[in-house]
A and B are shown apart, each in its own frame.
Chain A
Amino acid sequence: MRELNLFDKPENVKWLLRFFYASLVVLLICDLFIHKHAEFPWEDAFGFYASYGFVSCVLLIFIAKALRLMIRRDEDYYDEDATHGDSTQR
């Protein structure tokens, strides 16, 4: 079978990232020229959606990392209990 290796070449990944960063700049430039019909006052601010998206995702990751400290357990966390439960069955 033929294997694709498009993303194995570092220069391809580099081009992809460049294209991605360029699209971000284009989106910010577009922001200046579109007519906004905002429902909330903050929607009119330049780059509101961009900054909200960025901040949301950064917050999401850091809160999730903090959450992991509290809720993370081994994969057999519940299984251990089940076998223990069975052994006490009369």
Chain B
Amino acid sequence: MNLSPWQTGAPPALIFIFGALLIPLLRGRLKSLWMLLIPAAAMWVLIQVPEGRHWQLHLLGYDLILGRVDRLSRIFGYIFTLISFISLIYAINIDDDLQYVAGLCYAGGALGVTFAGDLFSLYIFWEIMAVASTFLILARRTDAARGAAYRYILVHIFGGLCLLAGILLYVHKRGTLDFAYIGLSGVDSWLIFIGIAVNAAIPPLHPWLQDAYPEATVSGAVFLSAFTTKSAVYVMARTFPGTELLIYLGALMTAIPIFYAVLENDIRRVLAYSLINQVGFMMCGVGIGTALAINGTVAHAFCHILYKALLFMSAGAVLHVTGKIRCTDLGGLYRTMPMTCLFCIIGAASISAFPLFSGFVSKSMIVSAAAHEKLAAVWLILQFASAGVFHHAGIKVPFFTFFGHDSGLRPPEAPWNMRIAMGMAAFLCVFIGVYPAPLYSLLPYPVHYVPYTGAHVVGQLQLLMFGALAFCLLILSGNYPAEMRAINLDTDWLYRKGGMAVYRIMDVALNGANAFCERVLAGRWIAYICHLAKDGPGLAALLLAVPIKALRGGGRRELDRFKHAVYAGFETGAMPIGIGAAAAGLMLALLYII
């Protein structure tokens, strides 16, 4: 179906990106209003645009499609637009144009990726996302943030280049730009896979996430938690559904980060690790690839964006009012921040998949899909990770922030706009958990899944509550790993230390070569060549002329004067033309003879 832009409205991605460009020109309430109008307008377009391909451009012999609308892209479009709206409300009080523009362009990039119908537009929006998101880290304006942003953009340039190389090879080989199922076969598809895997934070390509997100600004981290990984989940679900490798990578991805999350001291870094863990469930779902698994993946991405943003918002609110974010500095904040505490607990309950909270109705679809396919080991890992995520994100984050030891901090409650944003996300987490039907009706395939059965509810509650019992007993017996000011090595060690090692090797090798060349070439050879060029002809002439002059007789003094005159003549080039010509003729004759 081809509708004109008058019928469909502008592409949501362009609404965001061009809308963002006006932000620096506006002031005060008008700016806030304009910011909130942007996602509202995009949502309106998304609701009324019919399925099909819209906003097509013909460029260099290829058809670029900015609006491939189907059930899969539409639900991602909805959640990206919705979370932009909530994140912008959360960010209203910061008044930093850099973050507004970067956040809106970033969201626009994610929407562009979601609705791209061809690989070139996918790539362009993919890179817009990478660049725009970097500014959300830079905007923190600290040295740590600048370092993290630098590493972040380098990793994403690497991922982007893999994707681009893969796309070019793919287009060359198959002659189509179609953004559809690719499947792992050949170098081109592997490069595309790696490019997507970087953004999806699949181990060992994941450490950029826990490195960069905790260094971002308070509201920047909320934006970041929503778009990069989930747009990668969407692209993976389009291009590599049913890829067996993803099942195992996803299962590993759910398990590995929880060990780190237990040890981590920075609350937002704990959340970053649990983000990787949750995306692991989605990767597993994409790998299983059945209708139930894909439905589960999409539903989980939807719910995850809401509760993860909620958790980052509550952690950000704590950082905003106290200036502190480490477990060792926080504790006992429920006394003066009860609302933020309540919202954090709702987010924690949702990520832990407690019955009546959103994670329960979505994650269970993926776990059930693994069970239907009789993937016993994977199922056991996913259940282990479910218990583990409750342990660190569900209990640790609220406990060490709002309860635990009394830090003595008595900060005020979060600003009103932050509370409204958290309230909206919290409401949706509970609403979806209690009444999942509207979410299920938006999923790509028809849903026959029933989350609330007696066995399922009791089983999940047992898993979580006895996990909580373990936490209680370990805390009370003093066996829980103490909070400490420390960092934990992850695979980013390879490029952080490795990068430094490469730097040193380059330093020694290249600067050494440089110094050697300077000493030998510039210091000695050039002096020697100069000497040869200056004195060589004079000496040669003396060698020829002095014996002849000596044979012809004359005093010693006359000979000395003659030597002087010849040498000076050659040195300054002030020779009679005849001698020069004779020398040249002699040279030619010599050459001829040889």
Q: Which residues of A contact B (CB under 8 A)?
A: 1, 3-7, 17, 20, 23-24, 27-28, 30-31, 34-40, 43, 47-54, 56-58, 60-61, 63-65, 67-68, 70-75, 77-78, 81-82, 85, 88-90
Contact = CB atoms under 8 A, between A and B. Distances in A.
A34 B479 contact: no
B379 A27 contact: no
Given A39-B374, A54-B469, A30 B458 contact: yes
Contacts of A1: 336, 410, 412
Contacts of B372: 39
B552 to A, nearest CB: 61
A26 to B, nearest CB: 9
Interface stretch (B105-113, B431-439, B497-505, B539-547): B497-505
Interface string B364-395: 00001001101010010001100110010000
27 contacts: A4-B335, A7-B334, A20-B465, A31-B458, A34-B458, A35-B455, A37-B453, A37-B455, A52-B384, A52-B463, A53-B387, A53-B462, A53-B470, A54-B467, A54-B469, A54-B470, A57-B387, A64-B259, A64-B263, A67-B488, A68-B263, A74-B486, A78-B487, A78-B497, A81-B497, A89-B507, A90-B511
B388 A20 contact: no
Contacts, number: 159
B470 A57 contact: yes
A20 B470 contact: no
B462 A57 contact: no
A-B residue pairs, 9 tightest by C-beta: A57-B470, A39-B371, A53-B463, A49-B462, A53-B466, A50-B462, A34-B454, A54-B466, A56-B387
Contacts of B388: 56-57, 60
Contact of A24 (B459, B466, B490): B466
A51 to B, nearest CB: 7
Contacts of B336: 1, 3-4
B487 A74 contact: yes
A70 B263 CA distance: 12
Contacts of B458: 27, 30-31, 34, 49
B403 interface: yes
A2 to B, nearest CB: 9
Interface of B: 147, 258-260, 262-263, 334-336, 338, 368, 371-372, 374, 376, 379, 383-384, 387-388, 391, 403, 410, 412, 453-455, 458-472, 474, 479-481, 484-490, 496-497, 500, 503-504, 507, 511
A53 B384 CA distance: 7
A17 B470 contact: no
Contact of A68 (B403, B462, B488): B488
B510 to A, nearest CB: 10
A20 B468 contact: yes
Given A1-B412, A35-B455, A61-B262, A73 B462 contact: no
A74 to B, nearest CB: 7
B470 A73 contact: no
